[in-house]
Amino acid sequence: MKPFYATGILLLLLTSVCSAQDAPQAAPQDALVKITRSGSQPPEIGIPDYYAGTVRKEALFDADEPSRVVGGVVTYEPGSRTAWHIHPLGQVLIISAGVGLVQQWGQPVQEVREGDIIWIPAGVKHWHGATDNSRMRHVAITEALDGKSVEWLEKVDQQDG
């Protein structure tokens, strides 16, 4: 197992534990372990209102009550990126391939590489995507608040990144 996968699993577990503070301590007796087989979720192309360039999204898991944690893998072709957006309860990105960029509103653009882990605090306006000459893939772990995990804002100006 590669170190960043182990780190990602640890972060997922910590995120689940931390987000479920008000959840029951024990699962119902009829609860079942759920396995989602690799490749069983068809990828979707990112909606042009929220992404520039070619972006493929693959859902990994959705939150089942009382959990609020959702996860997916997003692959950005060179030069593609998200629009500005915020997450009501924050987000963790684990860069699993390539070289990318991330920018918080009012801060400089930062380069990220395979193995890097990015924590985006709740309510922080930001964008992320690939560099002009490299693909970038990340695992995204996000908590939903009242069923909503993201608020999309305006597209990124060329001068922003």
Q: Is 28 helix (H, G, I), strand (E, B) or coil?
A: coil
**Total of domains in the chain:** 1
> What digits encode the pLDDT tens for the residues 9-18?
444 444 444 4
Write the CB contacts of 93 (distance below 8 Å, at least 6 apart in sequence): 102, 112, 117, 118, 120, 128, 138, 139, 140
Is residue 130 a part of any domain in this protein? yes
Give the separation between CA 93 and CA 114, rounded to whole angstroms: 11
- pLDDT of res. 11: 47
Give the domain extent around 101: 3-19+48-152
Is residue 65 a part of any domain in this protein? yes
- pLDDT of res. 26: 63
20 vs 69, higher pLDDT: 69
- Percentage of residues in the chain having pLDDT higher than 90: 60
The pTM score is: 0.79
> What digits encode the pLDDT tens for the residues 20-35?
455 455 666 777 777 7
Is residue 58 a part of any domain in this protein? yes
Contact yes or no for 64/74 (Cβ under 8 A) = no
94 vs 5, higher pLDDT: 94
Is residue 11 a part of any domain in this protein? yes
